[in-house]
Amino acid sequence: MNYIDNNFAWLMNTIKNSNEEEVFDHIRKKYDALSINIKNAIEKFLRDFAYWGKLDYKNNIYEEIKNKAISLYEHRNDYINLYNNLGDYRSKKILFAILYNWYDYDFKYLESVMDKTYAHYFDLDILNCHDEVFVDIGAYTGDSILDFINSYGENSYKKIYAYEMSNDNYQKLLKNTKEYINIDCRKVGVSDKSEVLFLNKGVDNSADNLDTQGNIEVMTTTIDNDIEEKISLIKMDIEGYEEKAIKGCINHIKKDSPKLLISVYHNHEDLWKIPKMLKEINSNYKFYLRYYGGSIFPTEIVLFAIPK
C-alpha cells in the first residue's frame, strides 16, 4: 500500500479498535489542547454557521465534537466504502485529510489538499464540458456560472437553468448574467417537493437557507417537475438541503446520468451519505472529491459524480 492507503487504514483501524466514547474523548482532548485563539475562531465560525452543532469549551459544550465522533464511529464502513469508490488518489488523500482533521485537529494535512489550481467546481482534469444543459441549484449571484463560462467558454452550453431563492442574490444573478444568452434564472427554492417554506437569513447572503418557519415565504419546486429536457450537468450548493434536492431530481439522475457537482459539508453525514444515495439511484457513477476550503475547519468539500 502507498502512504495514503496506509494513513487511511491506520485511522479506520484506530477508530475500529475504540468505542464511541473513546473516539469522543480523543477528539475533545485534542480540541482542549488547541490555543485559545484557534478555539475562539472555531467557535465563532460555528455560531455564525450553525450547521454542525454547538461548541463552547468555557461552558463545557461539545455537541459538534459529539456529532463528529458519532459519524466517525458509526459510519466507519461507509467511509471505507467511499474511499474504495473514489476515482483518484487525490480524492482519497482529501477524504483522509478531512477525517483526520475531525479526529485529531490536524491542520497541516488539510492545508496540503486545498485546491488552488482550478475554479471552484470546475476541475479540468475530471470534468469535461461541451454543449451542456447546466442546472445551477443555489446559483447565488452567478459566480459559479461565470466560472463555468470562463473555464469552458461561451460555446460550452446549450442552456443554463439558475435557481436562487433569495431576492437580493437573485437581482445580482440577473445583473451578472444578462450579457449571456440562454440563461434561465428562476427565483424559487429546490427541494424534494413543491411547497411553501421560509427563507432563513444567514450571517451573509451566501448562507441563506430554507426552513419550516419564518417571515419570508419561499416557493420550492423539484427539478423533475420543473425541467423536461435532458440535463447533462447539475451543480448543487444549498446549505444542507442537498439531500432533498437530489430526491427531487431522481428521474433525471436515473435517465440522464448528468455530471453532478454537490457540496457535501453542511453536516457530518453528507460526506458519506450523498455518494451512497447516488450509487443507489444510478450505479453508473465514479466519484471524486475536491477541497476548496481552509486549513482549520473543513468546508467547501465538493463531490464530483461523473458517469462512467
Q: Assign 7 a pLDDT band (cuts: 50, 70, 90).
A: very high
Q: Any idea which of 72-81, 189-198, 278-287 has the lowest mean pLDDT?
A: 189-198
Q: Assign 215 a pLDDT band (cuts: 50, 70, 90).
A: confident
Enumerate the domain spans of the chain. Answer: 3-111, 132-263
**Rounded CA separation 141/176 (Å):** 7
Looking at residue 182, its pLDDT comes to 98
Cell of 216: 419570508
User: Strand, coil or helix: what is 296?
Assistant: coil
Q: Indicate if the pLDDT at residue 201 is higher than 80.
A: no
What is the number of residues in the chain? 308
Cell of 44: 465563532
Q: How many CB atoms lie within 10 A of CB 221?
A: 18
H or E element that contains 45: helix 36-48
Long-range Cβ contacts of 157-160 (<8 Å, 24+ apart): 157/129, 157/131, 157/132, 157/133, 157/182, 158/131, 158/132, 158/133, 158/182, 159/133, 159/134, 159/183, 159/184, 159/229, 160/132, 160/133, 160/134, 160/135, 160/136, 160/184
Per the CB < 8 A criterion, the answer to whether 41 and 296 are in contact is yes
**Rounded CA separation 63/56 (Å):** 9
Looking at residue 206, its pLDDT comes to 57
Cell of 206: 451566501
**Rounded CA separation 240/2 (Å):** 34
H or E element that contains 171: helix 167-177
Per the CB < 8 A criterion, the answer to whether 301 and 265 are in contact is yes
Region 119-141 average pLDDT: 97
Q: Indicate if the pLDDT at residue 209 is higher than 90.
A: no
Looking at residue 207, its pLDDT comes to 59
Q: Indicate if the pLDDT at residue 294 is higher than 90.
A: yes
Q: What is the DSSP string of 175-214?
A: HHHTTSSSEEEE--EE-SS--EEEEE--SSGGG-EEESSS
Cell of 184: 434561465
CATH architecture of 132-263: 3-Layer(aba) Sandwich (3.40)
Sheet holding 285-291, edge to edge: 183-186, 157-163, 132-137, 233-236, 259-263, 301-307, 285-291
Q: Indicate if the pLDDT at residue 44 is higher than 80.
A: yes
Region 65-80 average pLDDT: 98
Q: To the nearest 5 percent, what fractions of the chain are helix, strand and coil?
A: 45, 20, 35
Q: Indicate if the pLDDT at residue 208 is higher than 70.
A: no
Encode pLDDT of 233-287 as tens digits: 999 999 889 999 999 999 999 999 999 999 999 999 999 999 999 999 999 999 9
